[in-house]
Amino acid sequence: MNSRERVLRAIHHQPADRVPIDLGGTRQSGIAASTYHRLKKMLGIDSPTRVYDVYQMLAEVERPIMERFGADVIGLNRRDVAFGILNQDFKPWTMFDGTPVQVPGGFQPVTEQDGSLVLLRDDQPIARMPKDGFYFDRVEKFPGAAHVDLDGYEPPLLSDQDMQHYRAQAEALYQNTDFAIVAPLGPPYELFYGLGTGDFEMWMITLASEPDYVSQLYEKLVDAWLDNLRRFVDAVGDRVQVLQVNDDFGTQHSLFLSVDMYRRQIMPYYQRGLDWIHQNTDMKVLLHSDGAIFPLIPSLIETGFDILNPVQTSAAGMDPVRLKEECRGRLAFWGGSLDCQKTLPYGTVDQVQQEVRSHLEVFAPGGGYVFAPVHNVQAGVPPENVIAMYDTARRFPMEHLSR
């Protein structure tokens, strides 16, 4: 099978010739630029390390690395992946830990007195990276936290330039590669978690106490999402296999909100968008949500989500066996490789291999699984552990996949 066929079989709950692998296909299955640079040096690959996501300082994974680890997925990203900065005119830059990278020309952080880096828009700070940090924190307020005046508020829409970019890139990736293509295109802001950026506590109060306001805001956001979806599908046709939506509903130990609140206040609006996608395209919809979300999974399936990422098995209640048994044939899993908070950064190569194998033995049989890290591989992870993680998946015996 080629990569596209392999991923399509997996997300349709059919066995493939091997476990499909995602390395850098999404902004939640990527690798920190500093770790990526060290990985390339260990593999004897001498090329500039390019940062395509300056928010999380994620590396653009190059073809030789994708081929080395058997990656099957590639992302169709926006022109301006983070903070409205166009990914063009790359220039040299040095990270706090000394890693030499290339960053977009429009990336121009200001250094504060304490050494922190700040990004400005119209002379106002929108993001800050503390001195010796590895990624930025947003400080600008998103519409929910800002409690925008809905009478004059219009959500952002994709531009004609965006459509031209999507059309050209989708065609190039589809015709010139056999990768499965994943495109992130959810509502203009995550309907739950993302709307609270800048003051999440205030957004939670608004969500709980002003249902009419929240409903009106959601209507505007979903109307914009549907408009964006129609234009996006017109641009890319049937070349994209997976559409990604991001929203974090869980903490390490529990849900952020009750199942009842999700079903009453959020589910109907996501359902509008997902119904349109399923009625008008063949794309499967991947939801990225971290945390302990097992109680919410039946409702996510009912909403229309087809795939769950990152499958944080270290969070409370997210046992791999339980997940596979409860969701077999109804929800595919994308991630779930091993504990990326403990084992991957701090374990031995043997421990990484053992945990990856144990998870593959649960998730891989019968299809419904794409291998990926549980969120991005972070700075400081030993490159030998990264190699062990992906090599174990690539070499997983095929006979296990048909059980």
339-382 pLDDT tens trace: 999 999 999 999 999 999 999 999 999 999 999 999 999 999 99
Q: What is the CATH number of the domain that holds 313?
A: 3.20.20.210
Model pLDDT for residues 175-220, shown as the tens digit of each residue: 999 999 999 999 999 999 999 999 999 999 999 999 999 999 999 9
Closest CA to 397 of 15, 69, 68: 15
For residue 332, give the 3-state DSSP assignment: strand
d(CA 249, CA 296) in angstroms, rounded, equals 9
Model pLDDT for residues 257-300, shown as the tens digit of each residue: 999 999 999 999 999 999 999 999 999 999 999 999 999 999 99
Answer whether residue 302 shows pLDDT above 90. yes
Beta-ladder partners of 31: 377
Model pLDDT for residues 234-268, shown as the tens digit of each residue: 999 999 999 999 999 999 999 999 999 999 999 99
Q: What is the mean pLDDT of residues 371-395?
A: 97
Q: Is residue 55 part of a domain?
A: no
DSSP code, position 256: S
Query: Residue 291 is encoded by which pair of tokens?
Result: 């945390």
Q: What is the mean pLDDT of the chain?
A: 97
Q: Is residue 129 part of a domain?
A: no
Q: Is residue 131 part of a domain?
A: no
Q: Is residue 95 part of a domain?
A: no
Query: Residue 376 is encoded by which pair of tokens?
Result: 């991005």
Query: Residue 333 is encoded by which pair of tokens?
Result: 């899993």
Q: What is the mean pLDDT of residues 305-318?
A: 98
Q: Is residue 162 part of a domain?
A: yes
pLDDT for res 195: 95
d(CA 302, CA 287) in angstroms, rounded, equals 13
Cβ partners under 8 Å of residue 398, min gap 6: 17, 18
d(CA 318, CA 403) in angstroms, rounded, equals 22
Q: What is the mean pLDDT of residues 153-159?
A: 96
Reported as type and span, the H/E element at residue 288 is strand 284-288
The range of the structural domain enclosing residue 163 comes to 3-29+69-78+141-402
pLDDT bucket at 401, cuts 50 / 70 / 90: low
d(CA 197, CA 192) in angstroms, rounded, equals 10
Residue type, 8: L
Answer whether residue 70 shows pLDDT above 90. yes
Q: Is residue 195 part of a domain?
A: yes
What's the structural domain count of the chain? Answer: 1
Model pLDDT for residues 93-147, shown as the tens digit of each residue: 999 999 999 999 999 999 999 999 999 999 999 999 999 999 999 999 999 999 9
d(CA 367, CA 155) in angstroms, rounded, equals 38
pLDDT bucket at 402, cuts 50 / 70 / 90: low
pLDDT for res 400: 64
Q: Is residue 241 part of a domain?
A: yes
For residue 307, give the 3-state DSSP assignment: strand
C-beta separation of 334 from 328 below 8 A = no
pLDDT for res 398: 76
pLDDT for res 403: 57
Cα dihedral angle (233, 234, 238, 244), rounded to 10 degrees? Answer: -20
Q: Is residue 122 part of a domain?
A: no
